[in-house]
């Protein structure tokens, strides 16, 4: 089930990003020191009173050279489309402006819960500044200070009150997967090809998929699948997908709901910077990953074409060395029949549990091949290891001192575990813990 989503809306310079960073806390910072795993400061996960939620900073969605008011209007529309709860930010220093009134009118019509936060109210004396915000007709304004973190708790209390309490029933044995990738790499055509029927509208224009519909189907061997569609805005004529950050945000929402992600690359265009960003998110989220090279029928080939392209992918996405690569064509249906089978294999890898005795044998053999590192005369000692989670598989290794577990040695242990048990298409987490 996807987390509920909060969107932050407001005109420029009212402190949207400051509030966003405050709410998201530490989670925005880069989690992995791996080249290619970059973070976009527009979408993050936050938590309040034990409830997790996603949070969107609409100010980060830059819509090119459109006029100021149009920009604000579009950002409000995106928030209405994507969010369960909207935090509308005004500034206590400037008071109510024309732009605020415009946004308030749009939000008023949306039928979504809107919380009015008046930022830059840094001390109690300034609280009188908030009363004019009642004129917007959005209920009680909440005084907050993004820079000092004051008043945020009240806003979040109000936000989680509006979250749905209904829990989506999780069906056992169903593999959820989504297709992510830049606009126009052929995601919709692939969906149709996998299903063998025209279920999704396909068009040559970038960003034409509108309705996000989860599609359920059963594989040849009886395995149930749910395909999570990453559709775009339903606003006709406004192709927000062409804005990179918006399409990245959509991809992240799909990743959040999936077990396995099919990362689609356009073989004609090759690898772009945005591809790396999107793939980095899937890796970071710990989802199973399959790299699907689409439109392979359009590429002029020689004997080594496939091998060379595969090598290029491996060079550009070094942190995805575990992900299988498949070359397909949605038009000619080449190799599409192999995708469900491959998704199943990755799902099995994700859910694989290794008995501790077998795991410890592998780790001890690894230490025999490559002894543990030393630092300033202290040697890393490995006492015991055990698997603590699946989806993605996570292994805790009990050691004498965590800081002695260097990134490169953790990587070596990961490779040894992969050599022994394959773990195709799934990241692995190695966690060093000091033995108490």
User: Which tens digit of pLDDT belongs to each residue from 224-280?
Assistant: 888 876 654 444 445 455 566 677 777 777 888 889 999 999 888 888 877 787 888
Instruction: Write b or e for each residue in 179-216: b if 16 or more Cβ atoms lie within 10 A of its Cβ, otherwise e.
Output: bbbbbbbbbbbbbbbbeeeebbebeeeebbbeeeeeee
**pLDDT top residue among 250 and 434:** 434
Instruction: Residue 359: name the closest of 398, 323, 311, 305 by CA.
Output: 398
pLDDT at 342: 92
Choose which CATH entry (3.40.1440.60, 2.60.40.10, 3.40.109.10, 3.40.50.300) describes domain 5-161: 3.40.50.300
pLDDT over 80 (residue 30): no
Tokens of 138: 């959005």
User: Which segment, 20-29, 96-105, 384-393, is predicted with the most confidence on average?
Assistant: 384-393
pLDDT at 236: 41
Domain with CATH 3.30.300.20 in the chain: 356-434
Q: Name the percent of the chain lying above pLDDT 70.
A: 84
First-to-last C-alpha distance (Å) of the chain: 36
3-state SS, one letter per residue, for 355-400: CHHHHHHHHHHHHHHCCCCEECCEECCEEEEEEEECCCCEEEEEEC
Tokens of 290: 């399959």
Domain with CATH 3.40.50.300 in the chain: 5-161, 174-350
pLDDT at 104: 87
Which of 186-200, 273-287, 334-348, 395-409 has the weakest average pLDDT?
186-200
CATH 3.30.300.20, applies to 356-434: yes
User: Which tens digit of pLDDT belongs to each residue from 79-128?
Assistant: 777 788 999 988 888 888 888 888 888 888 888 899 999 888 777 777 77
The answer to whether 267 and 301 are in contact (CB under 8 A) is: no
pLDDT at 33: 40
Top CATH class of 174-350 equals alpha beta
3-class DSSP state of 220: coil
Quote the pTM value: 0.75
User: Which tens digit of pLDDT belongs to each residue from 307-327?
Assistant: 999 999 999 988 899 999 999
pLDDT at 166: 63
φ/ψ of 32, rounded to 5, equals: -120, 135
């Amino acid at each position: 089930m996807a987390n509920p989503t909060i969107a932050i809306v407001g005109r420029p310079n009212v402190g949207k990003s400051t509030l966003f960073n405050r709410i998201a806390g530490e989670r925005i910072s880069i989690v992995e020191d791996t080249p290619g795993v970059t973070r976009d400061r527009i979408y993050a996960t936050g938590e309040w009173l034990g409830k997790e939620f996603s949070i969107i900073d609409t100010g980060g969605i830059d819509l090119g050279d459109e006029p100021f008011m149009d920009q604000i209007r579009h950002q409000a529309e995106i928030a209405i489309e994507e969010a369960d709860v909207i935090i509308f930010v005004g500034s206590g220093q400037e008071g109510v402006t024309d732009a605020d009134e415009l946004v308030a009118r749009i939000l008023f019509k949306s039928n979504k819960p809107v919380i009015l936060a008046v930022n830059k109210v840094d001390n109690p004396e300034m609280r009188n500044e908030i009363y004019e915000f009642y004129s917007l007709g959005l209920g009680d304004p909440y005084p907050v200070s993004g820079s000092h973190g004051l008043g945020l708790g009240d806003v979040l209390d109000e936000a989680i009150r509006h979250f749905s309490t209904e829990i989506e029933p999780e069906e056992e044995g169903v593999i959820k997967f989504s297709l992510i990738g830049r606009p126009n790499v052929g995601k919709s055509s692939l969906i149709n090809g996998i299903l063998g029927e025209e279920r999704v509208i396909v068009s040559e224009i970038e960003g034409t998929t509108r309705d996000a519909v989860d599609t359920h189907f059963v594989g040849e061997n009886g395995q149930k699948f749910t395909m999570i569609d990453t559709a775009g805005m339903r606003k006709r004529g406004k192709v927000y997908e062409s804005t990179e950050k918006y399409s990245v945000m959509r991809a992240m929402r799909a990743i959040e709901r999936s077990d396995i992600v099919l990362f689609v690359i356009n073989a004609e265009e090759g690898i772009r910077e945005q591809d790396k960003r999107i793939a980095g998110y899937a890796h970071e989220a710990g989802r199973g990953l399959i790299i699907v090279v689409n439109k392979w029928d359009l590429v002029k080939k020689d004997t080594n074409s496939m091998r060379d392209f595969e090598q290029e992918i491996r060079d550009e996405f070094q942190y995805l060395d575990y992900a299988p690569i498949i070359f397909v064509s949605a038009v000619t249906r080449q190799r599409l029949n192999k995708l469900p089978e491959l998704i199943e294999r990755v799902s099995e890898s994700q859910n694989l549990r290794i008995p501790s005795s077998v795991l410890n044998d592998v780790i001890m053999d690894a230490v025999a091949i490559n002894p543990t590192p030393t630092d300033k005369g202290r040697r890393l000692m490995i006492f015991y290891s055990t698997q603590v989670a699946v989806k993605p598989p996570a292994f805790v290794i009990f050691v004498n001192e965590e800081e002695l577990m260097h990134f490169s040695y953790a990587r070596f242990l990961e490779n040894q575990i992969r050599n022994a048990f394959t773990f195709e298409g799934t990241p692995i987490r190695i966690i060093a813990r000091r033995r108490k």
